[in-house]
Chain A
Amino acid sequence: MGQFAALLRATDHQPVRYLVVDDSVFARKNLARIIDSYGGMLAGEAADGCTAITEYDRTLADIVLMDITMPQMEGIEAAERIVRQHPDARVIMVSSVGYQENIVAALQKGARHFVQKPVKPELLYEVIKYVLGDAAVTASISSAGV
């Protein structure tokens, strides 16, 4: 996997903090590896929607990468609950189930974007940059200290 210009928070130039939500350990590991290549920091992980809500309350991560199909509570409902409590939360849905109906439902419930699995790191990077907007700046890998 290639390296990317590190994404930093515009406010304090610290690494962007991520919450990764997926019932698959492998998917979480894969996303953690991708986040690392963006110079990001893994703030928390969750394997279901309920845990995602409590982990978001705890971490207030800059970006939430949220799967859809999960046990107990699915990702779209979890995204809705997080955004209801924290209107500024930036939730990106990351799912293999990428049909139009699902995407529209996720966006209507407050998700900012949708990325279909298998995740292409270059695409996810651009989506995260877009979702962060002015809240992020890019820096070279060396100047970001990663």
Chain B
Amino acid sequence: MKMELIQPFINAADAVLSETLACPVTISDISMDEEAYQRHATASLVEISGDIEGRVIFDVEDGMAIKVAAAMTGTEIEAEPQILRETVAELANLVIGNAVTTLNDQGFRFKVHPPVDHSDPHGFRGTEDVEALVMDFASPAGSVFMNVAIRYNHRRRADVNPA
């Protein structure tokens, strides 16, 4: 997997999580996911189609989701499944939106689809041409696992037809 595609997601996750939680986050683990992805907690999936295609799964531990929800709403939040799902979807939306903004400004053109619940305990393994990279963003409140499996669909027009 090309780091030029992954780096914007890492930067966006770092920036959004740090800003939302008002505390630093660190990448405590990074690995290639060769098996079917096993969900840890509440997860949301966003599909990307266009010059780059694939999907990103955001998987957030409850403690982290509650802290993010409280930061977003300014009130204490109960750990109810629906609230956790909404929180994770919005977090995914924020991170992926910021990442694709960077990629678009680099010349890639694609569409981001609205987040959907990823409720299956298993599923979405990488393939030979779409490897999945899993990053664990850790903070005192818990972890966010970001599973990214994207690839070039078409090379950028500038690469295909250099001036």
Binding site for B on A (CB under 8 A): 1, 23-27, 29-30, 33, 69-71, 95-102, 116-118
Contact = CB atoms under 8 A, between A and B. Distances in A.
Given A25-B86, A96-B96, A71 B104 contact: no
Interface stretch (B25-33, B87-95, B142-150): B87-95
Contacts of A70: 114
Interface of B: 16, 19-20, 69, 72-74, 86-87, 89-90, 93-98, 100-101, 104-105, 109, 112-114
Nearest to A48: B114
Contacts of B72: 26-27, 29-30
Nearest to B100: A97
Nearest to B116: A71
B105 A96 contact: no
Given A1-B74, A27-B90, A30-B73, 4 more contacts: A26-B86, A69-B93, A100-B105, A101-B109
15 contacts: A24-B86, A24-B89, A26-B69, A29-B72, A30-B73, A70-B114, A71-B114, A97-B97, A98-B101, A100-B104, A101-B109, A116-B101, A117-B98, A118-B16, A118-B94
A29 B73 contact: yes
Q: Which of B97, B104, B112, B113 has the most CB of A within 10 A?
A: B97
A98 B100 CA distance: 8
B98 A96 contact: yes
Contacts of A100: 104-105
